[in-house]
A = this chain, B = another copy of it.
Amino acid sequence: MPVNLAPPKPEDLLPVRGVALGVAEAGVRKAERKDLLVVRLAEGTSVAGVFTQNRFCAAPVILCKENLALAKPVRALLVNTGNANAGTGGDGLARARRSCVELAAALGCDSSQILPFSTGVIMEPLPVERIVAALPRAIADCREDNWVRAAEAIMTTDTVPKACSRRLSLGGKPVTVTGMAKGAGMMHPDMATMLSFVATDAAVSQAALRNMLALATARSFNRITVDGDTSTNDSFVLIASGTAGTPAITDEHHPDFAALAEVVAEVAIWLAQAIIRDGEGATKFITVQVEGGKSAQECSKVAFAIAHSPLVKTAFFASDPNLGRLLCAIGYAGIPDLDVSRVSLHLGDVQVARDGGLDPAYREEQGQRVMQQSEITVRVGLGRGSAQTTVWTCDLSHDYVSINADYRS
């Protein structure tokens, strides 16, 4: 049961002209399951991508980076679930290449104009023949109003598809931004794991798009954690088809850049939070705000120390205001000259600690009341500067252990 997250209705997801999505059942790992997605892109589309930092990055990630570096127009994305094609060495690379060659042949482009993505079990050979056999069905299914089925086709341990749309106006013309994501343990290697595709019909150069993608990533997918594991396959791709007829945004100084970047970030943040809401075993959505730091980087250290702590996360699961665990995580976050006597802590609207110790006015019932809520904000004041950051996470429940203990069976 995700935390306050409903599946999208088809009418909520606005088509992006020039971006057509088609799904098929290839039987990659299980039969009778949508597990293949082809996204066809109109001529003139710009594409930018960011990928996992894991050294064991998957074969498709290697190919994506290679193909994007060539700067040839990307004509299609090819996504499979059920198999991550990671930890598969040269053979995995050959299989990923083969799938690109076959899709390129069917679409009449070069194989370097295809970006491949895989998600699923690591270290098993990609059943590329079954994928190739299903390509014609996925291609035949391509439609611009197919986002819900596409979001379903990329799910793994996700319990709901995740997608949303926003509209804005650039120079008086309507522009759409629609995105989808999959992932239920962000940075979760086995499901290997976070994929997100966001598309707009605005016209954006590849350089400006890369910039916009970096800004959105820093505010969204880089601010969430379920279990602290960094996947072999994480990919976030931003697509601009240019079909809206708006003036081309050529760099970050263009008058339309900021407005579009803001909406792209908004969609990315919505998707990133959706991943947490559907986090494996999640029963609570937790926002960790750290302020008063000397730098955003040290605020991040503290926020992630809290968000990664299994003890903090089990306390949230138990609705137990066991707040020493929060102070403790702040203490080991790695700020060597932290003056703990300046640290303050709020749980929701309740001040728990001030000057590094329990607030004398704090009563356990107050903490208990906040802990019962399904959405909880933890606010830490470091008292040493003006930098701040926000991170989203979920609790750690019995179901997390069950899901990850039983996943392959």
In contact, B330 and A55 (Cβ under 8 angstroms) = yes
* Set of chain B residues within 8 Å of A341, measured between Cβ atoms: 89
Judge whether B324 and A190 touch: CB under 8 Å.
yes
Known: A325-B122, A357-B123. A405 touches B331 (CB 8 A): no
In chain B, what residue has the closest Cβ to A84?
A: B324
Task: Determine if A127 is an interface residue (Cβ-Cβ < 8 Å).
Answer: no
Chain multiplicity (copies) = 2
- In the complex, whether A317 has a CB less than 8 A from a CB of chain B is yes
For A339, give the chain B residue with the smallest CB separation.
B55
Q: Which of A391-409 contact B (CB under 8 A)?
A: 396-398, 400-402, 404-409
In the assembled complex, the Cα of A314 lies from the Cα of B35 at a distance in Å of 26
Bound Cα distance A210, B295 (Å): 36
Binds B, one of A13-21, A167-175, A227-235: A227-235
Question: Chain A's interface: helix, strand, loop or mixed, by majority?
Answer: loop
Interface centre among A57, A124, A322, A397 (most CB of B within 10 A): A322
Nearest residue (CB) in B for A120 is B324
Q: Which residue of B lies closest to A308 (CB)?
A: B228
Report yes or no: A328 in contact with B398, Cβ–Cβ below 8 A. Answer: no
- Among candidates B84, B328, B336, B402, residue contacting A192 with C-beta atoms closer than 8 Å: B328
| A309 beta carbon closer than 8 Å to chain B | yes
Contact B189 A328 (CB under 8 A): yes
Most buried by B among A92, A230, A323: A230
Q: List 22 A-B contacts (CB under 8 A).
A: A54-B328, A54-B332, A55-B336, A55-B340, A56-B330, A56-B340, A86-B327, A87-B328, A87-B358, A92-B357, A121-B324, A189-B309, A190-B322, A227-B310, A229-B332, A232-B327, A314-B404, A315-B404, A317-B401, A320-B405, A320-B407, A320-B408
